[in-house]
Amino acid sequence: MARKIKVFIVDDSALVRKILSTQLPKCEDLEVIGTAADPYEAREKIVENKPDVLLLDIEMPKMDGLTFLTKLMDHYPLPIIIVSSLSKAGSDVAVRAMELGAADVMAKPGGSYSVGDMIDELIFKIKAASTISVSSLKNKVNLLKTIAKPETGNPIFKTTDKVIAIGSSTGGTEAVKGIIAALPTQMPPILIAQHMPENFTASWASRMNELSKLKVVEAKQGEEATAGKVLVAPGGYHMTLQRNGARYYIELNKNERVHHQRPSCDVLFDSVAKTAGRNAIGVILTGMGRDGASGLKTMKEAGAYTLAQDEKSCIVFGMPKVAIEEGAAMEVISLDKVANRLVQLL
């Protein structure tokens, strides 16, 4: 029998600890090996039990989650999934946690977001996080520094017909952020499908906007996709590219999840293939599973140029691996070269 993934939970809510401890073991691949109400209680238990994945709340008494995360990444690095509230403040802090080395972020149930939805998504994220190496986590913190700036400040960009579509999952928040921060102002519209919960994408887009020369926003229904703009698919929605005459615009929907995901990279890529065809560039980055591989292949068959991140620079070499194996990628490239290559291709 395969060894189970050992999960440890740190959350000051007894109810949350009980729900997670009860529901997660229903997946035969997972085992909850312990819980703690605060970081002080958690410290010795983590060292003693050696979990594969840690679920960490942000707002806790005695020591907040960000402080504890920083200490863990310095002294006992391991894959950490932030389990945070759906509030704006919670989302902002969770995005900061991912900059500090957290592997992924998960929303606590609230409103229309049920416990059942949360558990299914969390199990997928735990499985992805369990494959991450400690060395990858340490490198992730310095990722922004590794992205090469384009060699030219004057990309050959003459038509608004061009579109760039990027899809990513686990490890992708920092990978995408590094690419976007390195790009010059003269870029065609860039569309991003990142596996991320509702509300968190707005905070992530806002953070990227602070770092980028481009305008980065969470996409809205009917919004125009214009040069110099980066449009992030909202968590909980599929995003598609549509065209009316010379005008590109965004459509959002809440159709069924694809490969357990909404937004789905396949949904975005398929729409870009249909709408932009050979005027598009598709990029698939780090992440677990196969979302995006089929859509990237559809883009390639429509005449688009397609890129896949290489294994060495991926946090999780899942989605790019499937894309490469299925012949969807025309080029396999290291993350630090993606921004420069996009400019060259334009």
Return the active site residues.
169, 195, 291
Cα angle 228-233-234, degrees, rounded to a multiple of 5: 125
Residue with tokens 């065209």: 243
And the tokens for 119? 């558990």
How many residues make up the chain in this entry? 346
Burial of 244 (0-12, 13-18, 19+ CB in 10 A): exposed
Tell me which H or E stretch contains 273: helix 265-276
Q: Which of 125, 141, 226 is nearest to 178 (CA)?
A: 141
Q: How far apart are CA 315 and CA 302, in angstroms?
A: 29
Alpha carbon 292 to its chain centroid, in Å, reads 13
Tokens, residue 314: 């991926």
CA distance 316 to 169: 9
232 touches 270 (CB < 8 A): no
The strand pairing partners of 164, in sequence order, are: 190, 281
Strands 305-309 and 190-194: unpaired
